């Protein structure tokens, strides 16, 4: 593709290189090949401008950069991240016909998974992208995986293009605050967006809650065009603000939940490892059995159903029954095994105070004796939430084991000490494997055990190393059961 066809945004392309054919795009200098466009992006830790010379030596045909240069191959743009996102969308043009995005602090992974499952139950070839990777129909085999919840725009568009070529017509993806702040989704043609909830997270990056919230809102204020749809869980904090932003943008707005207007939850009653729901929609009342535990999964399921209705203008009677066949996303309140005494052991990704409190509240009714939790906090991340996570555990659990999560380059003992400020009566077990073993060994009939913080992750970041570690595997090993036990 010619350079001037690839970059048509607010950027300066020299006439002498406008007709240069671009054979690839990357923002990683290690991937540069002859004829590539290299985007020298300003980074959080490293400035891509440092690698311009290396990219040129490797044969880069053009350099996208924020700073003007004397070399005619330099394409100067005030917002190179946004220009790159649109260029990647033009280079990888085969996006699925219908793409929806989900933002919020918690629930994104479950919602995109549920959307994919509902679409597939309707005979639609659908995929979901996010924290747990790219999930596609079983008959497709392996597809390229992604490294982050919202990957860089080149990788994101490359994956979407691959899905489009494989005749995937519908896709649901997670929109993280980092991804929105860094314009990674700006080239995606979105039909609808959803908001789950908002609470403290990623303040190591955003510095203030206000900025964190504002970046989430870019999905509705900038990325979704007039005529697109917004789905909002009306029960959460700041829901009214989200609705106003969406309506001011000219979006069709659907609200769900107990305070929702379009999918209104009338009641929910626990039944076994599921819940009976009464939902009012389109002038009818629906009785639905949701085979998942926790109020938050009800919210996630309603947001997912709202997205389906939003993009299809569909009939609630053809969508809501699909909720009865949903399965939880991996590592999202995922029952992995039971002890010999019948104690269910759950794994959940909850790594924020609110998410941990929500998971514990969901499991508490199932514990006739005690609710135990094993958790830690991540290093090199917002330290302010560590004591709050400790308090959430102290308020929601009967027995607490504080251990390591992903300490990264921080001193693990110092992280644990901060968590323990919020739950001083907890047992401290530094080694996560031993903490899991101890919690399971001390579990008694009538207990429920939650292993929290890592969810789907199969690694532990210690120092600068990423070591293989899976809570799922450790639970099964401790109990002596196989992967299906």
Which CATH number fits the domain that encloses residue 447? 3.90.190.20
Is 212 in the same domain as 357?
A: no
CATH code of residue 9 = 3.40.1390.10
Written as six digits, the tokens of 263 are 């999918």
Closest of 104, 103, 105, 102 to residue 116, by C-alpha: 102
Q: What is the pLDDT of residues 319-377, one digit of tens each?
A: 999 999 999 988 989 899 999 999 999 999 998 898 899 999 999 999 999 999 999 99
Question: Does 455 map to a domain?
Answer: yes
Report the predicted TM-score, pTM, of the whole model to 2 decimal places: 0.87
Q: Are residues 132 and 216 in the same domain?
A: yes
Residue 269 has pLDDT above 60, yes or no: yes
pLDDT of residue 304: 98
Q: What is the pLDDT of residues 62-109, one digit of tens each?
A: 999 998 878 999 999 999 999 999 999 999 999 999 999 999 988 999
Residue 359 and residue 309 share a domain: no
Which pLDDT value is given to residue 485? 44
Out of 325, 343, 364, a domain closes at 325
Q: Which residues of 348-380 are buried (b: 16+ CB within 10 A; e: fewer)?
A: bbbbbbbbbbbbbbbbeebbeebbbbbbbbbbe
User: At 204, is the pLDDT very low, low, confident or very high (cuts 50, 70, 90)?
Assistant: low
Residue range of the domain that includes 454: 334-479
Q: Number of structural domains, the chain?
A: 3
- Is 50 exceeded by the pLDDT of residue 484? no
Q: Judge whether 261 lies within some domain.
A: yes
265 lies in the same domain as 140: yes
**485 located within any domain:** no
**Are 312 and 382 within one domain?**
no
Domain limit, last residue, from 32, 50, 79: 79
- Mean pLDDT, range 209-219, rounded to an integer: 91
Task: Give yes or no for residue 261 having a pLDDT over 80.
Answer: yes
Output the CA torsion sign for 477, 480, 482, 483.
Answer: negative
| Pair (412, 342) in one structural domain | yes
Is residue 144 scored above 80 in pLDDT?
no
Tokens of 319: 């969508």
402-423 mean pLDDT: 98
Q: What is the pLDDT of residue 201?
A: 53
- Same domain, residue pair 75 and 96: no
Mean pLDDT of all residues in 50-57: 95
Name the nearest CA neighbour of 371 among 394, 344, 353, 398.
398
The verdict on residue 192 lying in a domain is yes
What band does 145 get if pLDDT is binned at 50, 70 and 90?
Answer: confident
For range 26-52, the mean pLDDT: 90
Q: Is residue 449 part of a domain?
A: yes
Of the candidates 399, 408, 395, 403, the residue with the CA atom closest to the CA atom of residue 419: 403
For residues 122 and 288, what is the distance between their CA atoms, to the nearest angstrom? Answer: 17
Which uninterrupted H or E stretch holds 53? helix 52-57
What is the chain's Cα-based Rg?
23
pLDDT of 263 over the 90 cut:
yes
**Which one of 325, 350, 384 terminates a domain?**
325
* Residue carrying the six token digits 């995929």: 127
Residues 138 and 273 in one domain: yes
Q: Is the pLDDT of residue 398 over 50?
A: yes
Distance in angstroms (rounded) separating the CA atoms of residues 289 and 378: 36
Instruction: Determine the Cα–Cα distance for residues 99 and 193; give it in Å rounded to an integer.
Output: 9
- Ordered alpha helix ranges (H), 166-250: 177-181, 203-206, 209-218, 239-248
Q: State whether 61 and 7 are in the same domain.
A: yes
d(C-alpha 76, C-alpha 78), whole Å: 7
> CB-side exposure of 42: number of CA atoms within 13 Å?
7
Instruction: Evaluate whether residue 87 is within a structural domain.
Output: no
311: DSSP letter: H
Using the predicted structure, report yes or no on whether residue 149 has a pLDDT greater than 80: no
Q: What are phi and psi of 373, to 5 degrees?
A: -140, 140
User: Poorest-confidence range of 8-22, 134-148, 326-340, 357-371?
Assistant: 134-148
- Give the model confidence (pLDDT) of 289-308 as tens digits: 999 999 999 999 999 999 99
Q: Is residue 65 part of a domain?
A: yes
> Is 161 inside a domain boundary?
yes
Q: Hunting for tokens 């104690």 — which residue is that? A: 343
For 272-402, list the strands marked E by DSSP: 274-281, 284-290, 334-338, 344-348, 371-375, 399-402
- Band (147; pLDDT cuts 50, 70, 90): low
- The reply to whether 251 and 319 lie within a common domain is yes
Query: Same domain for 406 and 321?
Result: no
Are 201 and 285 in the same domain? yes
DSSP letter string, 158-175: HHHHHHHHTT--EEEEE-
DSSP state string for 357-384: HHHHHHHGGG-SS-EEEEE---TTS-TH
């Amino acid at each position: 593709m010619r350079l001037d066809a690839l970059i048509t945004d607010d950027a300066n392309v020299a006439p002498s290189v406008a007709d240069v054919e671009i054979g690839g795009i990357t923002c990683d200098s290690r991937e540069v090949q002859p004829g590539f466009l290299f985007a020298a992006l300003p980074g959080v830790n490293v400035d891509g401008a440092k690698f311009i010379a290396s990219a040129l030596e490797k044969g880069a045909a053009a350099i996208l950069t924020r700073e003007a240069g004397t070399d005619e191959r330099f394409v100067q743009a005030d917002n190179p991240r946004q220009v790159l996102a649109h260029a990647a969308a033009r280079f990888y043009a085969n996006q699925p016909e219908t793409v929806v995005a989900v933002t919020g602090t918690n629930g994104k992974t479950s919602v995109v998974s549920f959307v994919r499952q509902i679409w597939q139950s309707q005979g639609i070839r659908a995929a979901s992208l996010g924290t747990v990777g790219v999930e596609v129909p079983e008959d497709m085999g392996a597809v390229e995986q992604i490294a982050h919840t919202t990957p860089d725009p080149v990788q994101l568009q490359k994956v979407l293009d691959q899905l489009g070529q494989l005749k995937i017509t519908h896709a649901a993806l997670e929109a993280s605050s980092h991804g929105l702040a860094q314009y990674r989704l700006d080239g995606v043609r979105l039909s609808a967006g959803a908001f789950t909830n908002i609470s403290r997270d990623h303040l190591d990056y955003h510095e203030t809650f206000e900025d964190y919230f504002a970046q989430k809102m870019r999905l509705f204020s900038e990325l979704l065009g007039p005529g697109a749809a917004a789905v909002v869980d009306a029960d959460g904090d700041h829901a009214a603000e989200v609705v106003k932003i969406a309506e001011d943008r000219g979006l069709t707005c659907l609200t769900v939940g107990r305070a929702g207007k379009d999918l209104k939850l009338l009641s929910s009653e626990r039944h076994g490892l599921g819940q009976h729901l009464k939902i009012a929609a389109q002038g009818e009342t629906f009785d639905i059995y949701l085979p998942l535990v926790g109020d938050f999964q009800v919210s996630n399921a309603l947001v997912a159903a709202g997205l389906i209705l939003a993009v299809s203008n569909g009939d609630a009677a053809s969508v809501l029954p699909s909720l009865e066949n949903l399965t939880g996303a991996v590592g999202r309140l995922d029952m992995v095994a039971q002890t010999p005494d019948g104690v269910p052991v759950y794994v959940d990704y909850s790594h924020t105070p609110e998410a941990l409190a929500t998971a514990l509240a969901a499991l508490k009714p199932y514990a006739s004796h005690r609710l135990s939790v094993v958790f830690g906090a991540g290093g090199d991340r917002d330290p302010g939430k560590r004591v709050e996570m400790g308090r959430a555990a102290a308020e929601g659990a009967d027995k607490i084991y504080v251990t390591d999560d992903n300490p990264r380059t921080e001193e693990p003992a110092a992280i644990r000490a901060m968590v323990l400020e919020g739950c001083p009566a907890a047992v401290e077990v530094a080694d996560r494997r031993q903490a899991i073993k101890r919690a399971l060994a001390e579990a008694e009939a009538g207990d429920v055990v939650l292993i929290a913080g890592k969810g789907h992750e199969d690694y532990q970041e210690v120092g600068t190393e990423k070591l293989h570690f899976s809570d799922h595997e450790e639970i099964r090993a401790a109990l002596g059961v196989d992967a299906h036990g």
